[in-house]
Structure 1
Amino acid sequence: MTDIRKDSVSFHLIDESEAGQRIDNYLTRQLKGVPKSHVYRILRSGEVRVNKGRIDASYRLNAGDEVRLPPVRVAVREEKFVPAGHFPVVYEDEALLVIDKPSGVAVHGGSGVSFGVIEQLRKARPEARYLELVHRLDRDTSGLLMIAKKRSALVKLHEMIRNDVPQKRYFALGLGAWPQAERHVKLPLHKWDTPNGEKRVRVEEGGQYAHTIFSIEERFADFTLVEAWLKTGRTHQIRVHMQAMGCPIAGDERYGDFTANRDLTRHGLKRMFLHAHNLKLPHPLSGEPLDLEAPLPPELMTFIELLRKENAI
């Protein structure tokens, strides 16, 4: 890591995509490598100015504002190699991008992962002024993933998610028989960290409210294909709810049946059988209803066909 001194004052004109955010958040993004303590220091001292006037950290930017940034010392990290990523596009316009994320790809870098979908998309689209994740999918989960192309779209989508507006449905293959044709599972979830820093979730009284609606798509001798409709969006919600119901997801290395998973690998299932296949929501800017689909990927469809043949024998 090296320190680079930006010796000259710079001026930035705020456009519509940047309007509405707090000045402290804007500075944190603009001055990557500058400690937050220093960001607040230059705000308090009046070195940062908007339209030639002093402002405090809570000031919200407006389109057309001129922001004056003082000289700062920026810590610059050596950039890690990020390959450009091209993913199947399910929907795209000027505000929203929805892709079909493959299994095995993290949505962002961190926790031992150098890069993820968002970093690869930014590399592949250098002309894009704004690309931000709207929500997350687990690394081993495939399916529909939303990326905002405008800040106004991101803000609206986050508001919709807080109000449980988007309808997100997943296909999951459970080990064993699901107890009934349709079931509302409302088990509270508690998130905790293992000694080595891994995120884990368990059913625990006093945990966060979590609600999943399960319906049976197809029964097999030793498995049940279900559709899971998320009514809340907690970490690992479907995985832990299925584990708690005695029907863990096939191939789930964290909450599944480890002995059965080894056997499934030998039979061709080398990933977790969880896929975000349907997404319904109003468009964040126009309000137009969106109903998006991502079919089961070939490796999961192949395994289902294998189970169907075994059932027919």
Structure 2
Amino acid sequence: MPVSFARKTTARPESRPSVRMLTIDHESAGQRVDNFLIRVCKGVPKSHIYKAIRGGQVRVNKGRVQADYRLAAGDVVRVPPLRMPAPDEPRRVPPAAFPVVYEDDAMVVIDKPSGVAVHGGSGVSFGVIEQVRAARPEARFLELAHRLDRETSGLLIIAKQRKALVALHDMMRQSAGRKLYQALVVGDWVNDRQHIRKPLLKFLTPGGERRVKVDPLGKPAHTIVTCLKRFGRYTLVGAELRTGRTHQIRVHLASSGFPIVGDDKYGSEAVRDHFASLGFKRMFLHAARLEIPHPVTGEAMVFETPLPPACVNLLRLLEHEK
């Protein structure tokens, strides 16, 4: 016999969760069902959403689906009674206005600071995309076109239209355009220009932390490294991504014997402690330049952002010590 908890709850009727049936429009077509639910179920923990998908509570056209199912226009999605925040609840994600490098109707390019995750998850309750959405409540569509590691600063593209997002994702998969980074590495870089082609494999540490290593069973990865300036025991290098693997630049440089200064996963703790004592407490990796065709018009676009002040000040200090 079912038990009713109606007399024990003080929630108002409008805040009680209930099943919703949502029909997918052309704007949302092509999106993964998990990402769609994360967007429409603002405030609901991702773990709850994935549990609902695995348990069959989320259905598309009355059938069970996996998290990576791509939605089509006209699909009817059953959204289970996940708890949603009431309209008058305090906003859980603080809005933030990040420096805008470029913006039009299709996309916005921001300069992401170091230390900020691009999205919530993995112990982070919210990231750049959630904060941008909170700062722009009138925006109908805001989605990450690609990702940067939490400690990496620099250019990040956010799509404002579904067709722009699809085009940008296609570009990233096909390595269209150019993505150029700057990094300070430990050691005197040998060659003025060097191609690093080493396959990369994801794995989990015993503690459950995601890592990447060079492994013959991994996916092909290609980075072009150029020497920009030598500082004796350290070198400022440029790194161009020809593929977009997780932690690619960090692992390619570390596996070549030149870890990035401040890298807490693939670098030296002693080096991190040394630079932290100098006031530099981040990883020196910066997404400095993007060259891509516009996702809607096809026009050639170039975006640039200078090194952050903390990085510039550190280079001045190293120059003085040479």
TM-score range, shorter chain: 0.7 to 0.9
* Deviation sequence 1:43-83 (CA, Å, 0-9, x none): 259xxxxxxxxxxx98831xxx6x7778x751215587211
Higher mean C-alpha deviation, range 22-31 or range 36-45: 22-31
Partner in structure 2 of residue 155 of structure 1: 166
Q: Deviations over 1:168-190 (max 9, x none)?
A: 00000000111211100001111
Q: Which residue matches 2:17?
A: 4
Letter in 2 for 1:75: L
Q: What residue is the counterpart of 1:265 in the other structure? A: 276
Summarize the alignment of residues 1-313 of structure 1 with structure 2, pairs less than 5 Å apart: 4-6=17-19, 14=25, 16-18=26-28, 20-21=29-30, 28=37, 32=41, 35-36=52-53, 37-40=56-59, 43-44=62-63, 60-61=72-73, 73-76=80-83, 81-311=92-322
* Structure 1 moving runs of 4+ over 6 Å: 22-27, 67-70
Distance in structure 2 (CA, Å) of the matches to 1:59 and 1:139: 29
What letter matches 2:152 in structure 1? T
Shift in CA distance, 237/26, structure 1 to aligned 2, threshold 3 Å: closer
Kindly state the Cα deviation for residue 5 of structure 1 after the two structures are TM-superposed. 2.5
Compared CA separation, residues 26 and 42, structure 1 to 2 (3 A): farther
Q: CA deviation at 1:273?
A: 0.4
Q: Decide whether the 8 Å contact of 2:59 with 2:77 is kept in 1.
A: no
Distance (Å, rounded) in 1 between the aligned partners of 2:248 and 2:34: 30
Does the 8 A contact of 2:60 with 2:76 survive in 1?
Answer: no
1:146-199 Cα distance to aligned partner (Å, 9 max, x none) = 111011100111111111103100000000111211100001111101122211
Which is further off, 178-187 or 73-82? Answer: 73-82
Q: Distance in 2 between matches of 1:3 and 1:91?
A: 41
**RMSD across aligned positions (CA):** 2.8
Aligned-partner Cα distance in 2 for 1:212–1:157: 20
Residues 171 and 227 in structure 1, CA contact (< 8 A), matched pair in contact too:
yes
Listed as ranges, the gaps of 5+ residues in structure 1 are 46-56
Q: Is the 8 A contact 1:100 1:142 kept in 2?
A: yes
Kept after mapping to 1: 8 A contact 2:17/2:84: no
1:28 shift after superposition: 4.6
- Give the letter aligned to residue 182 of structure 1: R
Q: Give the Cα–Cα distance (whole angstroms) in 2 for the partners of residues 31 and 88 of structure 1.
A: 26
Q: TM-score, normalised by structure 2?
A: 0.82
Identity fraction in percent: 46
Q: For 1:68 and 1:204, how far apart are their aligned partners in 2?
A: 42
Distance 1:128 1:92 in 2: 13
How many Å apart are 1:11 and its aligned residue?
A: 7.5
Supply the distance in 2 between the matched residues of 1:58 and 1:120 (Cα, whole angstroms). Answer: 25
Per-residue deviation, 1:22: 7.3
The more displaced of 25-34 and 246-255 is 25-34
| Distance in 2, Cα, partners of 1:271 & 1:59 | 39
2-side partners of 1:177 and 1:26: how far apart? 43
Counterpart residue type for residue 135 of structure 2: A
SS in 2 for 1:81: coil
Distance 1:41 1:95, change over 3 A: closer
Deviations 1:195-232, CA, capped at 9 Å, x for gaps: 22211011112211110000000001110000000000
- Provide the C-alpha distance between the structure 2 equivalents of 1:301 and 1:23, rounded to a whole number of angstroms: 40
- Asked if the contact 1:23/1:60 (under 8 Å) is kept, the reply is no
Q: Do the aligned residues in 1 keep the contact of 2:24 with 2:72 (CA within 8 Å)?
A: no
Query: What displacement does 1:24 show?
Result: 6.3
Distance in 1 between residues matched to 2:270 and 2:77, nearest whole Å: 58
> Residue 268 of structure 1 aligns to a residue in which SS?
coil
